[in-house]
Amino acid sequence: MQSWFTFELDGEICRIENESSRGTLAGFLADLDPLFSHYAESNPWHGGAPVILGEINGIAPRFRCVDANLILLPMLADTMVWTPEGIASLDPGHPAVGVLGIEHVECGEARRMAILSLFFEGYYRPDLRRNGQINEQLDCLVSRTSDVNAIRDAARRLFASAETKRHEASQRAAASGSQNEVWTGKKDIDNDRFTKALFIKKPVDSLDYVDRHKYRFHRPLTLADLQRLRSQYPDAKVIAGGTHLIENLENMESPTLISIKEVAEMQMIRTNQEFWEIGAGVNLTRVSEAIGGEYPAFLKALTKFGSRLVRNRATLGGYLAVASDTGQLAPLLIAMDARLILLSADGERNAPISHFYEGGNRTILRPGELIRCIMIPRGSESALSQRGMTTRLCDTYTVGPRRCLCEPYITGAFAVELREKTVAKAWVAYTGVANIPVRARQTEDFLAGRLWSEETVFAALNTLFQEIQVTKKDVGHASADYRKQLVMTLFQKFFYQHPTPRDVKPVEQGITQEFSLHDQPFFDSVV
């Protein structure tokens, strides 16, 4: 046990001693310096307080923008944190500070700083290459005081310059015959003080921290250590990304927190011909980077899941364990036919997602059991043909009072596997109708063996209408009637957007792409 740890804050080593293990970074910063006092007033549902966290998990070191309200101090041990104020104070200035130099994009310095953090992360994102992704990068900004289009313009300029730089670096790599690792982010092409420090950073160590209230925070590095700690502290609470738990810390009685965020086995994304195996501690952004190409519906689902700050921290394991009854991902995971591997001292067992929930925030997890990983069948063409399928159509729809950072009214996800034009197997799932994710099995059975056509879908609606009952009471101003209607219309929408085996790609944001310049790259010569 140790009563201190260190982390790097704005380029300086910061030693924490005796601070509460339940304190958030936002609270710590607010006490640290009057300059940071606005962190105390920020709220995760109003954009939060974005700061930059250097992450070296996964394939390449990355800067991730996270909400200082949703991160506990001990989680930061041995990590690297940049506050936007710290970035802005450096000389020479970061390019993100430069483009934000235009006045009036936002009222209030705190909000301008939030934009700076998001710009900073976007600048180093090798996958941020198209205009449509600007919304996704900045979606935590919820306010009446932004000049959104001015911010979009500034973002476009900044991200285009980053893209140009990456393009030139990849051309240089190609010319010199060396392996081109620019687009994977494995190579430091910026070579500025931020990336230099990040690329030489050592992996984090395990941590056993105890604060002055004798509250403990453990961060094991291996599954074996994790199991040992869990048997040692049977009442301990397991924490993954913490985006949900931290908001409910006050009601938590357990004095011990065990983080799975650095357990190597739970940080892995592995794949073979048949399955993706996604560790329970992998954040959603990394999941989408891995499987997004194969499952564009997952990318689409994430655009409405919290905000970039939340997705950078939240994990699939944590999401499932919370068992929220309005969750946006559960129906899609059902439609993707995912299974969970549950681990306890007695060994492993596995369960399909649709059997995982027991209603009312309860799951089949037994005491002492945890989710080790999520298995998702491969959706690639070869994997499909191995199973004798022609196509897999899969899409998800979330309707809520606004586009992001919302409590959705209802989410529906659908998938059909087609042999030629006949449905071999179907998945129809919803959240937001009952206190549990609902799967319409009768409708699925009805669809199986029939032609994928308008008549079939219309006939299936009858079954669907009988089968799905909306028992959850009003969500916001969405009445049960309205949600019942959405149960039907979302399924229709799925058909109309995917009428033939060729229409595999999910249609993003309605048909507004031409206006949002959705697919237009920042930099023209991008392939």
Q: Which of 485, 500, 520, 526 binds another protein (CB under 8 A)?
A: 485
Beta carbons within 8 Å of 8's beta carbon, 6+ residues apart: 14, 54, 79, 80, 81, 197
By the rule CB under 8 A, 402 interacts with another protein: yes
By the rule CB under 8 A, 462 interacts with another protein: yes
Helix (H) or strand (E) holding 289: helix 284-291
**Residue 115 or 189: which CB sits closer to another protein?**
115
What is the CB neighbour count within 10 angstroms for residue 80? 22
In DSSP terms, 277 is beta-bridged to 270, 375
Q: Which of 21, 24, 42, 456 binds another protein (CB under 8 A)?
A: 42
By the rule CB under 8 A, 248 interacts with another protein: no
* C-alpha distances in Å from residue 483, one per residue of 404, 434, 490, 509: 19, 11, 10, 20
**Residue 386 or 458: which CB sits closer to another protein?**
458
In DSSP terms, 365 is beta-bridged to none
Cα(127)–Cα(379) distance, integer angstroms: 21
Which segments within 360-421 are labelled E, that is strand? 362-363, 370-377, 391-399, 410-419
Q: Which of 138, 287, 426, 440 binds another protein (CB under 8 A)?
A: 138
Q: How far is the CB of 272 from another protein (least distance, A)?
A: 36
| Contact pattern from residue 110 through residue 129 relative to another protein, giving x for each residue in contact according to CB under 8 A and a dash for the rest | xx------------------
**Residue 5 or 356: which CB sits closer to another protein?**
5
**Residue 118 or 340: which CB sits closer to another protein?**
118
- 3-class DSSP state for residue 504? coil
By the rule CB under 8 A, 142 interacts with another protein: yes
**Residue 7 or 356: which CB sits closer to another protein?**
7
Helix (H) or strand (E) holding 349: strand 347-352
Q: How far is the CB of 132 from another protein (least distance, A)?
A: 10
By the rule CB under 8 A, 525 interacts with another protein: no
Q: Taking CB under 8 A as the criterion, which residues in 148-207 touch another protein?
A: 148-151
Beta carbons within 8 Å of 140's beta carbon, 6+ residues apart: 47, 48, 50, 67, 114, 118, 307, 308, 309, 310, 404, 405
Where b means 16+ CB within 10 Å and e means fewer, 29-45 reads bbeeeeebebbeebebb
CB 403 within 8 A of CB 305: no
In DSSP terms, 396 is beta-bridged to 413
Q: How far is the CB of 174 from another protein (least distance, A)?
A: 32
**Residue keyed to tokens 């500025």:** 192
Cα(227)–Cα(234) distance, integer angstroms: 10
**Residue 84 or 220: which CB sits closer to another protein?**
84
By the rule CB under 8 A, 479 interacts with another protein: yes
By the rule CB under 8 A, 447 interacts with another protein: no
**Residue 111 or 129: which CB sits closer to another protein?**
111
* C-alpha distances in Å from residue 133, one per residue of 156, 285, 302, 335, 512: 10, 13, 12, 25, 14
By the rule CB under 8 A, 490 interacts with another protein: yes
Q: Which of 290, 404, 413, 429 binds another protein (CB under 8 A)?
A: 404
Which segments within 230-333 are labelled E, that is strand? 237-239, 256-259, 269-271, 275-279
What is the CB neighbour count within 10 angstroms for residue 391? 20
Q: Which of 192, 277, 407, 503 binds another protein (CB under 8 A)?
A: 407
**Residue 143 or 500: which CB sits closer to another protein?**
143
Q: How far is the CB of 251 from another protein (least distance, A)?
A: 14
Instruction: Tell me the CB-side half-sphere exposure of residue 83, using CA atoms within 13 A.
Output: 24
# of chain residues touching another protein (CB under 8 A): 97
By the rule CB under 8 A, 499 interacts with another protein: no
Cα(317)–Cα(324) distance, integer angstroms: 12
| Contact pattern from residue 362 through residue 401 relative to another protein, giving x for each residue in contact according to CB under 8 A and a dash for the rest | -----------------------------------x-xxx
What is the CB neighbour count within 10 angstroms for residue 47? 24
Q: Taking CB under 8 A as the criterion, which residues in 2-31 touch another protein?
A: 4, 9-10, 12-19, 31
Sole window of 82-90, 120-128, 161-169, 363-371 interacting with another protein (rule: CB under 8 A)? 82-90
Q: Which of 1, 34, 455, 525 binds another protein (CB under 8 A)?
A: 34
Q: Which of 65, 189, 405, 433 binds another protein (CB under 8 A)?
A: 405
CB 266 within 8 A of CB 255: no
Sole window of 174-182, 228-236, 285-293, 478-486 interacting with another protein (rule: CB under 8 A)? 478-486
By the rule CB under 8 A, 414 interacts with another protein: no
Sole window of 146-154, 251-259, 387-395, 425-433 interacting with another protein (rule: CB under 8 A)? 146-154
By the rule CB under 8 A, 312 interacts with another protein: no
Peptide bond before residue 331 is cis, with ω within 30 degrees of 0 = no
User: If we measure between CA atoms, which residue out of 263, 329, 271, 322 comes closest to residue 298?
Assistant: 329
By the rule CB under 8 A, 250 interacts with another protein: no
By the rule CB under 8 A, 33 interacts with another protein: yes
CB 48 within 8 A of CB 243: no
Sole window of 157-165, 284-292, 375-383, 490-498 interacting with another protein (rule: CB under 8 A)? 490-498
Q: Taking CB under 8 A as the criterion, which residues in 44-63 touch another protein?
A: 45-46
Q: Taking CB under 8 A as the criterion, which residues in 92-111 touch another protein?
A: 93, 97-98, 101-111
Q: Taking CB under 8 A as the criterion, which residues in 284-303 touch another protein?
A: 303
